[in-house]
A and B are shown apart, each in its own frame.
Chain A
Amino acid sequence: MSDELEAIAQRAVEAALAAGAGDAEAYVQDSVGREIRIFDGEVESLTEAGERGLGVRCWIDHRAGYAYGTELSEEGLGGIARDAVETARIADADEFAAAPSADGAVAPPEIPGLHDPTLAQWTTERKIELAKGIERAAREADERVVGVETAVYADEEQRVAIASSTGLAGAFEATTAYAYLQAIAEAGGDKQTGLGFGMGRSPEGLDEEEIGREAAERAASLLGARKPGSRTCPVVLDPIVAASFVGFIGGTLCADAVQRGRSPFAGRLGDFVASAALTITDHATDPAGLNSSPFDAEGAPRGQTPLIEAGKLAAYLHDSYTARRQQAAGAPGTRTTANASRAGYRSPPSVSTSNLVVAPGAKGFEELLAEAEDGVYVTDVAGLHSGVNPVSGTFSVGATGRLIDAGQLAAPADEFTIASDLQSMLKAITAAASESRWVPFGGSVNAPALLIGEMAVGGS
């Protein structure tokens, strides 16, 4: 199968060159997936998804173009290749736009477990039982859980192949499986919702009891929530919320944003941009990270890049374009960090984080609360992408969670905002908790709870 995809990629490259491209790169993706939605103990929908497509990027005298399509016959490939060449002719020349070179490329790393064969052993019936089990677990975990708004199980087996006129070629296979649900809890006229989720390379790795219980606990713990008073105080972010913010920060450390003057961290390489409690690494080869792969979206072998080391900004993330641009801007040693990513065959590669790993600290979660003493514990934020200005770094987002009173979790709180700017928030991180978890928000992030010394809380 992968051989077949590689052959399609090679033929697409040849078609693009024949259509007039100076250089060309082709990316073929084939995936088979299943999604099961459960409501009220019954299957609400069962989807069998098959998807196969091709994306061709080409370059003509430093002009780049891109085209994609689903028709993979010889004629179809030819049409996509011609479209790619046409788009390149419309683009303006950019001296740094060029095909990634295969020179000096090392063999991509082996990532054990990226493709989990146990996925194929699960029948649809067994997956339905798993999804129903998650919903049941939530209902049984707390008597105040009155319903579940859809429990979802989904998996995918994906094959990817890439080829280029500069000699890059490769293919890999990966599986993913995840499940989530939104539990609804009700008491005393108040209604709250809570999310539970799990992810892995196969349904083997999903714990239905744990996923259901988390949703129930999150929903029930918010019952009776009130708007807290407006003030400035210590804030503890739970791992899910911490991951969302870290993912956002990762985006501002992508060289594309930095070079185009759209990052609050531009020109800060080597500076202490965060407190010493914060260390973040982009880790593209951890099998547990859902965005791991042997090579990136333009064929460069993946690895690890320390981004923030004990508060110091250690690197920006690059693809071949931004690395070339940085070389010309006085940093001749810059190389791609293999962070070219794509959302699928429909989008050309662009710089993005792979999996971000936040180093855990020494203190337990209880110690973090004790240190906060009097503040707010945030378990959910809403509106991160409309509430943060990625250029200036200022943000104000909606939040829910619990009050922290005398170092202990106290009354639930909702309908409030937390506001600051990314730069001040990073400096104000006082501690990272000792336990982390993988979170599929903000990309793919492994994060512990974080204590922020001071933040503006907007409520009543």
Chain B
Amino acid sequence: MAPLIEAELAGRVLQGALQHGGDFAEVFCEERSGLGLAIDESRVERVQRGSERGAGVRVVRGETSYFAHVDGLGESELERAAAAVAAAARGDRREIQALAAAESPPLQEIAVAPAEVPAERKAELLRACDQTARSAGDEVAQVQASYAEGSRRVTVANSEGRFAVDDRTRVRLGVQVVARRNGAVETGFETLGGHRGFELVTEGAAERTAERAARIALTLLDADPAPAGAMPVVVGGGFGGVLFHEMTGHGLEADHVQKGASVYAGKMGEQVAAPDLEAFDDGRLPGEWGTDGIDDEGTPTQRTAVIHEGRITSYLYDLVRARKDGVDSTGNGRRESFRHLPIPRMTNTYIAPGEASPEELISEVERGFYAVSFAGGQVDPTTGDFVFGVSEGYLIEAGKVTKPCRGATLIGNCLEALGRIDGVASDFEMKTGFCGKGGQRVPVGTGQGHVRIGELTVGGTAV
């Protein structure tokens, strides 16, 4: 794709931003547009379209970042942003490196551009989800489904000569089903998403997502209150990977580490997990939700081994934190939009598949909990304390999955729980999520096969 601004203008904006000094300057331009619609009460509604164009200009001097953002990509807007940043920044002047032709990373394969598909076709897709879920059982009381597509075209230029573009297309479908029986009300939720075109949701994929959401809700109608107490926990594949995302991924983000606000600070090279545990952050996984060609600072994305043979092998860096540690960026400088400063963020983070089968992991548990999927989670990277809401969970008794449980939460401490992972299965799957940090929401992929943690606290209502 062609850059959103010409090299000549980008050069002038960078010069302007550095006119009173600074170590580094960058201009990030973005054109984003999207379409969203939903079905609720079997009626297609909340159809909305949006488009925004703008730029963020940043100057870094020492440890300080000066940032300004404007709507619009005209020369006057860009110069206004550069002037606002220059007014705040002071320091020795730096010469900027000349910009060559913009680099364009290999783009993800988009078979069917979503914008080319008539919107009515997307409404039909939601109607199909609604019908599929409703026909899954008489106890299905409500179905909500939503479809969203988004396009982000970005251009980054910086004073070190980086000039790169990226074109990102994402599609995501979410289905929520509520089932009722007498007084019991349960919900099931399933998503499907990727850095992909409309092909992702066709050929029955949308219907299968709806069917699975319905099945979860119907299964949970038979649930008992979740147990409370410490016990072995088997975590499901796919979205179960959000556990690793929260309890390890965040703590490996270099901003937390450099501030001493991470339990993984000072632990580079240390054994934190069983010697067969391998984990990665991979911004290049084809078609995945957290995949981009470049990060939002223009660095090509890469596959980074964060844990190798149970030892920490890398933190996740953006340019500013990499410079501080004297290393290269790992391509993890991401931002929600041109209105945000880039910070170290995960892309697709996962535990690599192991040898066991999920059934083997479960069969070795006398009494425990099987957390198939989560509604979400949260971690305090400083203390390592985390909490997860279980959206689908079961009791494990005598090596067998038995009763479904409602209202379970998993709580624990990152380092303890990571050290207690005593089995990883070979079934591997990636799922989509949105990760919030510093007020910025970015798409991330989470994944793993089934994982067993020797002991974890399950918080339920059955005391």
Contacts and interface: CB of A to CB of B under 8 A. Distances in A.
Interface of A: 39, 42-53, 64-71, 79, 83-84, 86-88, 90-92, 94, 97, 124, 146-147, 149-150, 182, 184, 191-193, 227, 230-232, 260-262, 264, 346, 348, 382-383, 385-389, 391-392, 394-398, 400, 414-421, 456-460
Interface of B: 35, 37, 40-41, 43-54, 62-72, 84-85, 88, 119-120, 122-123, 141-142, 178, 184-187, 226, 228-230, 256, 259-261, 263, 339, 341, 374-378, 380, 382-383, 385-389, 391, 406-409, 411-413, 457-461, 463
B185 A392 contact: yes
B235 to A, nearest CB: 15
Given A192-B383, A415-B412, A92 B50 contact: no
Max chain B C-beta neighbours (<10 A), residue from A42, A346, A392: A392
Contact of B48 (A65, A262, A420): A65
Given A45-B64, A47-B68, A262 B142 contact: yes
Nearest to B374: A386
Tell me if B's interface is mostly helix, strand, loop or mixed. strand
B374 A91 contact: no
A108 B416 CA distance: 56
A244 B315 CA distance: 33
A396 B226 contact: yes
A285 to B, nearest CB: 27
Contacts of A70: 51-54, 71-72
Nearest to A387: B389
Contacts of B142: 260-262
Contacts of A150: 259
B459 A394 contact: no
Contacts of A191: 263, 382-383
Nearest to B183: A392
Given A44-B65, A383-B378, A90 B383 contact: no
B69 A50 contact: yes
A207 B35 CA distance: 44
Contact of B376 (A39, A386, A460): A386
Nearest to B51: A69
A47 B59 CA distance: 11
5 contacts: A44-B65, A46-B67, A83-B51, A92-B123, A232-B463
Contact of A48 (B53, B62, B85, B259): B85
B463 A456 contact: yes
A107 to B, nearest CB: 31
Contacts of B256: 149
Contact of B52 (A69, A84, A414, A458): A69
Given A64-B45, A383-B376, A416-B411, A262 B178 contact: yes
A172 to B, nearest CB: 21
A47 B341 contact: yes
Given A45-B64, A67-B49, A149-B261, A231 B411 contact: no
A147 B259 contact: yes
A348 B85 CA distance: 33
Contacts of A87: 35, 37, 47-49, 119
A51 B35 CA distance: 21
Contact of B382 (A149, A227, A392): A149
A419 B84 contact: no
Contact of A49 (B35, B69, B259): B69
Contacts of B63: 39, 42, 44
Complex A-B, nearest 9 residue pairs according to Cβ-Cβ distance, in ascending order: A417-B459, A398-B387, A386-B376, A386-B389, A458-B459, A458-B228, A386-B375, A87-B47, A396-B409
Given A90-B47, A261-B141, A396-B407, A419 B459 contact: yes
A68 B256 CA distance: 36
A66 B48 contact: yes
A50 B52 CA distance: 14
Contact of A67 (B48, B122, B380): B48
A109 B398 CA distance: 66
A46 to B, nearest CB: 5
Given A53-B52, A70-B54, A70-B71, A396 B382 contact: no
Contacts of B375: 385-387
Contacts of A53: 52, 71
Given A394-B407, A415-B411, A417-B409, A83 B380 contact: no
Contact of A419 (B40, B228, B263): B228
A115 B389 CA distance: 40
A50 B80 CA distance: 11
Contact of A45 (B66, B409, B459): B66
Contacts of A457: 463
A92 B37 CA distance: 11
Given A49-B69, A92-B43, A261-B178, A456 B387 contact: no
B220 to A, nearest CB: 10
B409 A48 contact: no
A229 to B, nearest CB: 10
A43 to B, nearest CB: 5
B387 A383 contact: yes
Given A45-B341, A50-B71, A230-B228, 15 more contacts: A49-B69, A53-B71, A70-B72, A83-B49, A87-B48, A90-B44, A90-B119, A91-B44, A193-B382, A193-B383, A260-B41, A348-B48, A386-B375, A456-B463, A458-B458
Contacts of A395: 407
Given A262-B178, A456-B461, A48 B84 contact: yes
Contact of A382 (B65, B230, B380, B458): B380
Contacts of A419: 228, 407, 409, 459-461
A42 B228 contact: no
Contacts of A230: 228-229, 463
Contacts of B68: 47-50
A47 B66 CA distance: 6
Contacts of B41: 260
A398 B385 contact: yes
Contacts of B380: 193, 382
Contacts of A48: 67-69, 84-85, 88
A458 B229 contact: yes
